[in-house]
Structure 1
Amino acid sequence: MPPISRGEVSYITGAASGIGRALATLLIAQGGRVIIADLNSEAGAEFASELNKKAGSIIAIAIKTDTTVWEDQVAAFQQAKNTFERIDYVFANAGIAEHPWLPPFDPETATSRPLVKPDLATVDINLTGQLYTAALALQTFERQEIGPSGFRGKLILTASVFAYYPSRAMPLYAASKAGIINFMRSAAQYYASKNITVNAVAPNLVDTPIAPDVLFVPFRERKLLSDMQLVLDQFQKFLGGSTINGQALSISQDNVWVHPADTHMFEENDPACELISVELFKLFGDNTL
């Protein structure tokens, strides 16, 4: 699998724990430098300190970042550029588990309860926050020259198999991850000719602090968790000189696959879908063909 070039820089949201922390560790081991963008400033700073102490130099910086706040992410990107001059890889990874968006369904008590505003925290973090990261990544790449691996930059988003499969207990989590996958596929087409790749990794449940540990117990007992190393292996496939673009690499336990785009009725819809892109680019003043 393609390694990164020594000294390349990665901006990782949610890097103080879970998949993000594992990614940072992997990239540092390959000679990279990392920006740990995480809301948990204490854990992020401690992790960066550990990495720097072991390396004997500044190879990691931690920046307190609420990914749902645009200004936070702008400041984090700017600090990253000021410290390391460029950013080669951006991992839009920060996410949370499902927050119940409505009260449990109960017709017997419904009339005695007021209508409530839905809790959209899951979408705010898992979709809007990642799109803020993506927007800054793509504009940063646009403003820098081609790097040592032959690209202006690479954007990798963390999705989930629930981007494809419904979950009656996680409608907003599924909606947010489906949004990430369709954004990835669309952006990958747009940036394909611009020395920028856009991809996603979509695992099933991985043993991380994203949820209380008690949730993972039955999954451990039934061996239904996806292995962290296998997840990292899929991220690795997009790095370095890899030309992969627009793929959703998916993991469930020991199974790995490239999840195909939906082609049902594609031929019938493609002429209109393609024409809308052409016409919208004209309206947007974009010279992309």
Structure 2
Amino acid sequence: MAVISRGEVSYITGAASGIGRALATMLVSQGGLVVIADLNVEAGSKFASELNEKAGSIVAISVEVDTTVWEDQMAAFQQATNIFKRIDYVFANAGIAEHPWLPPFDPETAASRPMVKPDLATADINLTGQLYTAALALQTFERQEIGPSGFRGKLILTASVFGYYPSRAMPLYAASKAGIINFMRSAAQYYANKNITVNAIAPNLVDTPIAPDVLFIPFRERKLLSDMQLVLDQFQKCLGESTINGHALSISQDNVWAHPPDTHMFEENNPACDLISVELFKLFGDSTA
């Protein structure tokens, strides 16, 4: 399996807990340096101190970041590059569980209630926040030379199987993760010949602090949680000298697969889909073919 080169730098959003924390621990164990970017700066700083104490050197730094705030993310990237000089891997991982975007459906009381503005917090963090991270990652990679693994940099986004499958209880979560999947596939094509790879890891429910613990009890009882080590193994496949690009590596319980792009009616649509890229690049002043 692909491994990182010693001293390569990883920037991880949401790294103070859950998947991000497990990922940071794995990368440091392989000789990597990590930037723990998290809104919970107290937990992030404590985690960084634990990693540094165990390693006996500075292998981790903590930066306070609200991923929905562009200025926060830009400042964090600048701090990371000032300290570590480059960033080899960016993991756009920070996310939250579904926040009800509208009140529960109730025709009996609807007429007596005012229309409410939807709560888009789930999409703000899970989609917009990740796109801010991606934008900074790709521009950072563009400004640095090819690294020890043969790439300018690698972007890995945390998605979900709900990027492919609908959920009647999680419309905003599903929408944001679907957006991440299609962004990843599109960006991967654009950067394919630029020494940059873009991939996504898409697990089903993993036992993390993303939601109240009571939510996980029936999943534990029915053995329906996805295995954290399998999730980490999929991240690992994208690292080092791996040429994987444009893949949605998916995990559900003990099952692992690369989820294929939708090809229904693809041949019929592809001529127009491809031509729009050609023509838009002309309008954008982009020399990409």
Q: Which residue of 2 aligns with 1:26?
A: 26
- Mapping for residues 214-233 of structure 1, pairs under 5 Å: 214-233=214-233
Task: State the Cα distance separating 1:138 from its structure 2 match.
Answer: 0.1
Over residues 133-182 of structure 1, what are the superposed CA-to-partner deviations in whole Å (9 max), with x where a residue is unaligned? 00000000000000000000000000000000000000000000000000
- Cα RMSD of the aligned pairs, angstroms, is 0.3
* Structure-2 separation of matches of 1:274 and 1:165: 26
Matches within 5 A, 1:115-154: 115-154=115-154
Partner SS for 2:238: coil
Q: For 1:35 and 1:66, how far apart are their aligned partners in 2?
A: 14
CA deviation digits over 1:202-254, x for unaligned, max 9?
00000000000000000000000001001000000000000000000000000
Partners of 2:60 and 2:260 in 1: CA distance: 36
Displacement of 1:261 in angstroms is 0.2
- The gaps in structure 1 that reach 5 residues or longer are none
Find the aligned partners of 1:204 and 1:3 in 2 and give their Cα distance.
Answer: 24
The 5-angstrom pairing of residues 196-215 of structure 1 reads 196-215=196-215
Task: List alignment gaps of at least 5 residues for structure 2.
Answer: none
SS for the counterpart of 1:256 is strand
Distance 1:32 1:264 in 2: 41
Identity of aligned residues (%): 88
Task: Please state how far the C-alpha of 1:87 moved relative to its aligned partner.
Answer: 0.1
Deviation at 1:54, TM superposition (A): 1.0
Query: Structure 2 length as normaliser, TM-score?
Result: 1.00
Partners of 1:163 and 1:218 lie apart in 2 by 23
User: For 1:1-289, what aligned pairs fall within 5 Å after superposition?
Assistant: 1-289=1-289
Instruction: Classify the secondary structure of the residue corresponding to 1:185.
Output: helix
Q: How far is the alpha carbon of 1:288 from its aligned partner?
A: 0.2
**Distance across 2 between alignment mates of 1:230 and 1:264:** 29
- Give the SS at the match of 2:156: strand
Aligned length: 289
Question: Cα offset for 1:55?
Answer: 1.1
Amino acid at match of 2:102: L
CA distance in 1, matches of 2:5, 2:274: 37
Question: Which residue identity is paired with 1:183?
Answer: F
TM-fit CA distance, 1:57:
1.1
Question: How far apart are residue 21 of structure 1 and its match?
Answer: 0.1
TM-score by length of structure 1 reads 1.00
